[in-house]
């Protein structure tokens, strides 16, 4: 990657592929980090170079202060990704919280006249504009109540939430990401000239099939919904084979 190291803190590339014709930028769910996509770098075909995004305040960037406001995060991301977007065609994949980031980043790129992705992949990500009301804020709550609400909302095992590793390694990033999510406000704009592929889980407690289908309203040039046989909101790992199959099908032939 021909960019200064400061940009590569944000845009990681575990397996550079100089001959790739397209980059897939991957945005993790709340509390996650770039390592979620580690196996993707070797399991997707050679024409795709996988570039997971690493946000500050976690994993390799644990010592940095996290960003806690949506607008600040999107604007910072657009600046850090600009050199990469000018080098090679791109697609965006976002899971849950990461899907809303990928969507709003694409709309910001359109407003500023920057290169936009060839396709958006949104997994376990609700089209929030169809919800009559959003869940009550939780990021301000004490740790015990915060984890109780998060565990109930996403069906996370209590033994995982109570583990020392989770509370030391994940909790600070999760709280920051929930602050970002709670500061997000959807505003209506013209549909994108970017096709959208949505993935949902049939038994997802957080995202209904209707909320996944509603992304069709945000594009003028093609939409596809795939519902996966899972009850897990975090199917980015458990349904990796089906996700990869869908991504490959929809990217084949898009970049030269």
Predicted confidence (pLDDT) per residue in 66-113, tens digit: 999 999 999 999 999 999 999 999 999 999 999 999 999 999 999 999
* pLDDT confidence tier of residue 2, bands split at 50, 70 and 90: low
Say whether 139 is catalytic.
no
Q: Can you give 85-109 as a three-state secondary structure string? A: HCCCCEEEEEECHHHHHHHHHHHHH
Strands of the 196-201 sheet, one edge to the other: 48-52, 22-27, 90-95, 120-123, 196-201, 223-228
Residue 27 to residue 51: CA distance in whole angstroms: 9
**pLDDT tens column, 173-229:** 999 999 999 999 999 999 999 999 999 999 999 999 999 999 999 999 999 999 999
pLDDT value, residue 4: 60
Residue 161 to residue 142: CA distance in whole angstroms: 14
Which range has the worst mean pLDDT, 16-20, 129-133, 168-172? 129-133
Residue 34 to residue 105: CA distance in whole angstroms: 18
**pLDDT tens column, 19-71:** 999 999 999 999 999 999 999 999 999 999 999 999 999 999 999 999 999 99
pTM of the predicted model as reported, rounded to 2 decimal places:
0.94
Q: Which of 35, 78, 96, 125 is catalytic?
A: 96
State the distance between the two ends of the chain, measured CA to CA, in whole angstroms: 19
Class of 5-135+188-251 in CATH: alpha beta
Ordered by start, the domain boundaries in the chain are 5-135+188-251
pLDDT value, residue 153: 87
């Amino acid at each position: 990657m021909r960019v200064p190291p400061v940009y590569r803190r944000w845009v990681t590339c575990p397996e550079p592929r100089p001959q790739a014709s397209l980059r897939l930028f991957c945005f993790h769910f709340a509390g996650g980090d770039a390592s979620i996509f580690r196996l993707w770098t070797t399991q997707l075909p050679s024409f795709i170079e996988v570039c997971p995004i690493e946000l500050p305040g976690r994993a390799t960037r644990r010592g940095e202060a996290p960003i806690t406001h949506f607008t600040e995060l999107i604007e910072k991301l657009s600046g850090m990704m600009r050199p990469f977007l000018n080098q090679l065609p791109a697609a965006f994949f976002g899971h849950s919280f990461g899907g809303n980031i990928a969507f709003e980043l694409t709309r910001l790129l359109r407003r500023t006249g920057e290169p936009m992705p060839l396709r958006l992949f949104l997994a376990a990500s609700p089209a929030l504009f169809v919800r009559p009301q959003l869940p009550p804020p939780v990021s301000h709550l004490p740790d015990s109540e915060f984890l109780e609400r998060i565990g109930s909302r996403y069906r996370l095992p209590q033994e995982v939430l109570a583990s020392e590793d989770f509370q030391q390694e994940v909790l600070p990033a999760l709280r920051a990401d929930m602050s970002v999510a709670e500061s997000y406000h959807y505003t209506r704009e013209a549909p994108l000239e970017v096709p959208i592929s949505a993935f949902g889980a049939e038994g997802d407690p957080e995202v209904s099939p209707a909320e996944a289908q509603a992304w069709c309203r945000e594009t003028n040039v093609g939409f596809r919904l795939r519902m996966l046989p899972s009850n897990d909101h975090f199917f980015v790992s458990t349904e990796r084979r089906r996700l990869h199959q869908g991504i490959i099908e929809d990217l084949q032939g898009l970049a030269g």
